[in-house]
Structure 1
């Protein structure tokens, strides 16, 4: 157990299992940038406002809103009054292996639909507060049951968040098996978007027809499956253009386009400008 100015408490062991809980403020807010391989992060805004930029996209969190991030999200900037951050690695708690217990795969983490933000209303804020208080107390323990208790509190906070997000995204309108199809689609897109751009590939993986997928998504969202695939491709394209020195041709190839013209047409159709113009525009904004 390690303690850093009582605002940060860390659990780690010889098995490379890692969990960190932090009371964020303006003095220590830069700790959010210390992301390691396989880290999952969620930040709960407890102040009046929290401004965070992820992959060049600004998010403005109100009090009791929670943002969920993986190691693949690039945090550019953050401005915190007060917030609470939980960060854990895959060794401590694997989102995939524990999906039947929590149901966060493809929803809170590893989803292709964007960065999830959960709004905790006043009726259940107390549930999160209780979880956090127990979290902090357990971080101070040192016995063979500590890890199990910490995992239980982590699961509780994730389950509470999943419930809110399922309701806000209309997943509650579906049977559990149908909602699981949508979550699995989101997860599959996250893993295969760079090579497979057609709905038929994902439908076959799910043993469903493209029409069935479209019908399910029409119940809960205005976004069709193909839109989700395209949006995920664009998110990665922007990321590579903004943060790497790869040529547009290399980025196109990385995203499964055999020729730069096809990729450029796709990008311009979505962004309004070509990939080259997009890179030049962002370079000017940074100077």
Structure 2
């Protein structure tokens, strides 16, 4: 599919764009831009490279697709891979998703979707419609309609399984939002359970069924992801990172980080520095 060389200017609240993976978008290095956008990455060919999402590696296969939210760090490791990326703002996301679709963008589940053969052509058709609209009139309501249909097809038929927990899905989305807001300071299960209107035990049961994690494990996961991000950017020292993440002492933070990752913060920063030099 030929994708027109349209500008990448995500300043507007209703930004929407489609770009080949081979096109460089240096503007995404600006974190104030990168961390406001949602991404759908569709790999169209096989590759020996890997897709790195939040510092974990995932395979790249033909017609595999990944949905990513703001604050997630992701890149292709190795040779450039064939595919496209759909990028859109949080405002558009809020207008097109429902509880089922939100699971596609769950930052705890990054295994992606292997598209079944019977769904590939309908998704390609919707993609062609989005490309034509975004490079032509660019009518926001039309783009939203196509994107919503794309995501509904994906959640219905992409993996062969429809993930839905009824009212529990809405509760978990509230939980993820609460964790994202308060994880630096609030580590008690009771804090989150009381705001959702559940007992700590019931909240843990629902979360374990959906993600395989307890709430404590989820909070630790969120802390480690943010710690890795801040360490890899290299702009703060370890003491500043520790205090920002709610640790009273740098030594406590360092022990926590090594226990969860198997590396000291220093070793992880050195590793990220070497990888950045290799990719540069």
- 1:46 maps to which of 44, 51, 55: 44
Alpha-carbon distance, 1:153 to partner: 0.7
C-alpha change, 1:34 and 1:283, in structure 2 (3 Å) is closer
Q: Tell whether the 8 Å contact from 1:264 to 1:274 is kept in structure 2 after alignment.
A: yes
CA distance in 1, matches of 2:63, 2:196: 35
Q: Distance in 1 between matches of 2:158 and 2:184?
A: 27
Q: CA deviation at 1:230?
A: 0.7
Change (3 A) 1:233 1:15: closer
Shift of 1:208: 1.0
> Aligned partners of 2:265, 2:228: CA distance in 1, in Å?
8
Equivalent residues in 2 for 1:235-254, closer than 5 Å? 235-254=225-244
* Change in 2 beyond 3 A, CA 1:126/1:113: same
* Contact 1:171 1:179 (8 Å CA) reproduced: no
Which has the larger share of strand? 1
Q: Find the residue that maps to 1:194 and give its secondary structure.
A: coil
- What SS class does the counterpart of residue 108 from structure 2 fall into? coil
CA–CA distance in 1 between the matches of 2:8 and 2:251?
A: 50
Equivalent of 1:17 in 1, 14, 19: 14
C-alpha displacement of 1:103: 4.5
User: Could you say what secondary structure the match of 2:181 adopts?
Assistant: helix
1:147 to 140, 144, 147: 140
Deviation at 1:88, TM superposition (A): 1.4
Report if aligned partners of 2:37, 2:69 keep a CA contact under 8 Å in 1.
Answer: yes
TM-score by length of 2: 0.80
Instruction: Give, in whole Å, the separation in 1 of the partners of 2:7 and 2:152.
Output: 22
Q: Provide the alpha-carbon RMSD of the alignment.
A: 3.2
Counterpart Cα distance in 1 of 2:199 and 2:249: 29
Alignment coverage as a number of residue pairs: 269
Partner of 1:83: 83
Measure the CA separation in 1 of the matches of 2:39 and 2:132: 20
Change (3 A) 1:163 1:11: farther
Deviation at 1:141, TM superposition (A): 4.1
Give 1:272-287 correspondences, 5 Å limit: 272-283=262-273
Q: Among residues 88, 101, 108, which one is paired with 2:104 in the alignment?
A: 108
Residue of structure 2 equivalent to 1:213: 203
Cα 1:248–1:198 change in 2 (3 A) is same
Contact 2:37 2:89 in 1 (8 A): yes
Distance 1:239 1:14, change over 3 A: closer
Of the three residues 109, 130, 133, the one matched with 2:125 is: 130
Q: Deviations over 1:230-278 (max 9, x none)?
A: 1111011111112123121111111111222332222222122332343
Q: Aligned with 2:104: secondary structure?
A: coil
Q: 1:284 to 1:43 in 2, by over 3 A?
A: closer
Give the TM-score, by structure 1 length.
0.78
Judged with a 3 Å threshold, the aligned counterparts in structure 2 of structure 1 residues 199 and 102 are, in CA distance, closer, same or farther, namely: closer
Matches within 5 A, 1:62-101: 62-77=61-76, 79-91=79-91, 93=92, 95-96=93-94, 98-99=96-97, 101=98
Structure 2's unaligned 5+ residue stretches are: none
